[in-house]
Amino acid sequence: MNHYDLAIIGAGPAGMAAAVTAAESGLQVALIDEQARPGGQIYRNVGSPALRQREILGPDYYAGERLVEALDHPQITDFSGAMVWEVRTDTLCLTVDGQSRQIGFQRLLIATGAQERPVPFPGWTTPGVMTCGAAQIMLKTSGLAPNGPLIIAGSGPLLLLIACQLSRAGVEIEALLETTPRRRYLESLSAWPGALRGWRYLLKGASMLAELRRRGVKHLTGVSQLRAEADAEGQLCGLSYHRGGHQQRLDCATLLVHQGVVPNVQLSRSIGAAHDWDEVQQCWRPRLDPYGETTQAGVFIAGDGGGIGGALVAELQGRRAANRIANQLSRLGATEFEHRANSLQRQIDFQLAIRPFLDRLYRPADEFLRPSDETLVCRCEEVRAGEIRQLARGGCAGPNQAKAFSRAGMGPCQGRLCGLTVSQLMAEASDRPVAEVGYYNIRSPIKPVTLGEVAGLAADQDQQPQAPQIAEPSAVSNYQRSVSR
What is the domain-level CATH number for residue 216? 3.50.50.60
pLDDT at 311 exceeding the cut of 60: yes
pLDDT at 289 exceeding the cut of 50: yes
Last residue of a domain, one of 207, 230, 258: 258
What is the pLDDT at residue 235? 96
Of 454, 419, 414, 455, the residue nearest 434 (C-alpha): 419
pLDDT at 123 exceeding the cut of 50: yes
Which residues have CB under 8 Å from 363's CB, separation 6+? 184, 187, 280, 281, 282
**Whether residue 305 is found in the same domain as residue 380:** no
**Whether residue 148 is found in the same domain as residue 251:** yes
What is the pLDDT at residue 246? 94
**Whether residue 253 is found in the same domain as residue 271:** no
What is the pLDDT at residue 443? 87
The number of distinct structural domains making up the chain is 3
**HSE-CB of 231 using CA atoms within 13 angstroms:** 10
> Is 338 inside any structural domain?
no
Using 50, 70 and 90 to split pLDDT, how confident is the model at 79? very high
Full-model pTM:
0.91
What is the pLDDT at residue 31? 98
Give φ, ψ of 300 to 5 degrees: -115, 160
Rounded distance between C-alpha atoms, residue 149 and residue 456, angstroms: 48
> Is 483 inside any structural domain?
no
Which residues have CB under 8 Å from 231's CB, separation 6+? 237
**Whether residue 237 is found in the same domain as residue 133:** yes
**Whether residue 243 is found in the same domain as residue 290:** no
Of 453, 440, 460, 441, the residue nearest 479 (C-alpha): 453
pLDDT tens-digit map of 398-410: 999 999 999 999 9
Q: Of how many residues is the chain composed?
A: 485
pLDDT at 475 exceeding the cut of 70: no
Q: How far apart are the first and last CA of the chain?
A: 32
**Whether residue 156 is found in the same domain as residue 268:** no
CATH code where residue 416 lies: 1.10.10.1100
What is the pLDDT at residue 452? 85
**Whether residue 292 is found in the same domain as residue 272:** yes
pLDDT at 416 exceeding the cut of 80: yes
Percent of the chain with pLDDT over 90: 85
> Is 295 inside any structural domain?
yes
pLDDT tens-digit map of 132-176: 999 999 999 999 999 889 999 999 999 999 999 999 999 999 999
Q: What is the mean pLDDT of residues 170-184?
A: 94
Instruction: Residue 199: give the domain boundaries.
Output: 120-258
> Is 462 inside any structural domain?
no
What is the pLDDT at residue 464? 44
Rounded distance between C-alpha atoms, residue 212 and residue 164, angstroms: 6
- The amino acid occupying position 473 is P
Specify the long-range contacts of residues 341-349, CB closer than 8 Å, at least 24 apart: 341/291, 344/316, 344/319, 344/320, 345/290, 345/320, 347/316, 348/309, 348/313, 348/316, 348/317, 348/320
> Is 101 inside any structural domain?
yes
Rounded distance between C-alpha atoms, residue 138 and residue 335, angstroms: 46
Q: With contact defined as beta carbons under 8 Å apart, do 163 and 209 qualify?
A: no
> Is 482 inside any structural domain?
no
pLDDT at 473 exceeding the cut of 50: no
What is the pLDDT at residue 437? 95
Q: With contact defined as beta carbons under 8 Å apart, do 176 and 152 qualify?
A: yes
**Whether residue 253 is found in the same domain as residue 124:** yes
> Is 137 inside any structural domain?
yes
Tell me whether residue 204 is exposed, middle or buried, using C-beta atoms within 10 angstroms of its C-beta: 0 to 12, 13 to 18, 19 or more. middle
What is the pLDDT at residue 99? 87
pLDDT at 58 exceeding the cut of 80: yes
Last residue of a domain, one of 258, 286, 321: 258
Task: Report angle CA 262, 264, 269 to the nearest 5 degrees.
Answer: 125
Q: Could you say which DSSP state residue 354 is in? A: T
What is the pLDDT at residue 105? 97
Last residue of a domain, one of 236, 258, 280: 258
**Whether residue 127 is found in the same domain as residue 252:** yes
**Whether residue 124 is found in the same domain as residue 89:** no
**Whether residue 172 is found in the same domain as residue 207:** yes
> Is 416 inside any structural domain?
yes
What is the pLDDT at residue 52? 87
**Whether residue 208 is found in the same domain as residue 153:** yes
Task: Report angle CA 45, 313, 297 to the nearest 5 degrees.
Answer: 100
